[in-house]
Amino acid sequence: MEPIRPGQPGRSGPPGPPSPAAEQGPGETDLDALLALVAGGDQAAFETVYDRVAPPVFGLIRRVLRDSAQAEEVAQEALLEVWRTAGRFDPARGTAITWVLTIAHRRAVDRVRSESASAQREARVATADVAAGDEVADTVAASLEAERVRHCLDGLTDLQRESITLAYYSGYSYPQVATALGVALGTIKTRIRDGLKRLRDCLGVSW
Amino acid sequence: MRIGGITIGRGPHDLAGAYALDALDSAESTRFERHLSSCRTCPDLVRGFAATATELGLAAAAPPPPSLKAAVLGAVGALSSARDVDEAIASVLSAPDARIVSGATTAGGTATVVATPRGRAMVFTSSGLPVLPPTSVYEVWFIGSGGARPAGLVPPALPDIAGTTVPLHASGLTAGDVVGVTVEPAGGVRAPTTTPIVVLTLRA
């Protein structure tokens, strides 16, 4: 990931400019082009892709699974899926980093929802979910990107923020989110949707 | 393009947010994807939400253990060479001058070679060869006027296919060669030490 340039405006409050996150710096091949090379079996290109995406892939999966050993296993599966299916990446449907992180998140969520993993995980989740909204700050305070996301999450209502973080960072289905927060299903759907709109606009996401 | 501000009524596209966060079960997810193809506003909404989720993911970035890189690149290398071998095998099998020769071995079972003299390569497979103790191995040879040259070790049998061995690809076939198989010490040897259990003549 590219370090955030000093003096860039919009870091202090919403709405900010489009995020530079995961864009390539000058002189670097962009991820789209690298994935095309990977689709053709280029192992050197894949190593570059690995170096670029492994930190968010691993970090996100560990965040969802709350277990480093399992996270490493699932991250390995996700990164091999990137290798095997790079030819299916379609730039018209979203950015390369979104494609990669979608694979990673789905794999993490699948693992969370699989029966074998659920029992061990219950215990870890039980203590951690109370402060779901605060975890962003706890685990990733060092990163400016994380700070920006944290800032925008703070701009949501409590229910929007809790719904989104439970769904995304804890891998809850929306009915599980509804149960955990004691709110009607329909309410959760709209809170997630409205919260994501606000987050999207605050982060200045381009798509 | 922004869709924020538009009031969206009740209906499947209420699920766009939950879908983008992978918070639907697989049946709902499939149903929503079906809706997506006929919904005018949904694709843009989902793209924006997916890009927003990406920001949440990037915010969770953490340095992975070095063992992850070794494991992933190692697996990619292995998958890649398996793919190379598959391609090499496919090119022998589809060569215009490909010929197939099969014969029973004196140990039991059948050895089969598909060879392309022009491509100077062959693929060897067998079925029903007796299973050897771990100290021994079946070794394949190109045998020509200059003697026998190693062409590789017979790989293990595929599970559940009547003792059929994984195809072995070997290049270095020269005109006039026959293909032989011997039983050798595990790991193979540079020159045969026993009498071939089968010799296949390619020009038969």
**Residue A129 covered by a domain:** yes
Residue A155 forms contact with B (CB below 8 Å): no
Q: Do A183 and A134 fall into the same domain?
A: yes
CATH 2.60.40 placement within chain B: 99-201
> In this model, does residue B86 exceed pLDDT 50?
yes
More confident residue, B81 or A9: B81
Determine the topology of domain B99-201 in CATH: Immunoglobulin-like (2.60.40)
**Alpha-carbon gap: A121 to the closest alpha carbon of chain B (Å):** 18
**Residue A85 covered by a domain:** yes
What domain range is A35 assigned to?
27-113
Residues from chain B contacting residue A67 (CB–CB below 8 Å): none
Q: How many CA atoms lie within 13 A of A90 on its CB side?
A: 4
Residues from chain B contacting residue A68 (CB–CB below 8 Å): 65
pLDDT for residue A43: 93
* Predicted TM-score (pTM) above 0.80: no
More confident residue, B190 or B14: B190
- The two beta strands, B136-144 and B121-127, are unpaired
> In this model, does residue A13 exceed pLDDT 50?
no
Tokens found for residue B111: 């050895």
* CB-based contact B68 A200, cutoff 8 Å: no
Residue A192 forms contact with B (CB below 8 Å): yes
Number of folded domains that form chain A: 2
Phi and psi based region of residue B176 (left: phi greater than 0; alpha: psi -120 to 50; beta: remaining): left
Encode pLDDT of A88-98 as tens digits: 999 988 999 99
B129/B157 Cα distance (integer angstroms): 9
Q: Do A99 and A128 fall into the same domain?
A: no
Q: What is the mean pLDDT of residues B67-85?
A: 88
Encode pLDDT of A106-148 as tens digits: 999 999 988 545 565 565 555 454 444 444 444 444 578 889 9
**CA-based nearest residue in chain A for residue B73:** A47
Where does A86-184 have alpha helices with state H? 96-113, 115-128, 135-140, 144-154, 158-170, 174-181
Closest CA to A113 of A198, A41, A175, A53: A175
Q: Do A132 and A191 fall into the same domain?
A: yes
**Residue A141 covered by a domain:** yes
Helices and strands, number each (H, E), in chain B: 4, 8
Contact A105/A64 with Cβ under 8 angstroms? yes
**Residue A170 covered by a domain:** yes
B63/B89 Cα distance (integer angstroms): 40
Residues from chain B contacting residue A207 (CB–CB below 8 Å): 44, 47-48, 50-51
Which of A93, A113, A133 is the last residue before a domain boundary? A113
**Residue A167 covered by a domain:** yes
Encode pLDDT of A137-185 as tens digits: 444 445 788 899 999 999 999 999 999 999 999 999 999 999 999 999 9
B12/A131 Cα distance (integer angstroms): 31
pLDDT for residue B96: 92
A145/A136 Cα distance (integer angstroms): 11
**Residue A106 covered by a domain:** yes
Residue B100 forms contact with A (CB below 8 Å): no
Q: Which of residues 22-81 of B touch A (CB under 8 A)?
A: 22-25, 44, 47-65, 67-69, 71-73, 75-77, 79-80
**Alpha-carbon gap: A163 to the closest alpha carbon of chain B (Å):** 10
The enclosing domain of A101 has a CATH number of: 1.10.1740.10
Is the ipTM here above 0.95?
Answer: no
Residues from chain A contacting residue B68 (CB–CB below 8 Å): 54, 58, 72, 75-76, 79
**Alpha-carbon gap: A41 to the closest alpha carbon of chain B (Å):** 7
> In this model, does residue B177 exceed pLDDT 80?
yes
* CB-based contact A193 B18, cutoff 8 Å: yes
Which of A113, A139, A163 is the last residue before a domain boundary? A113
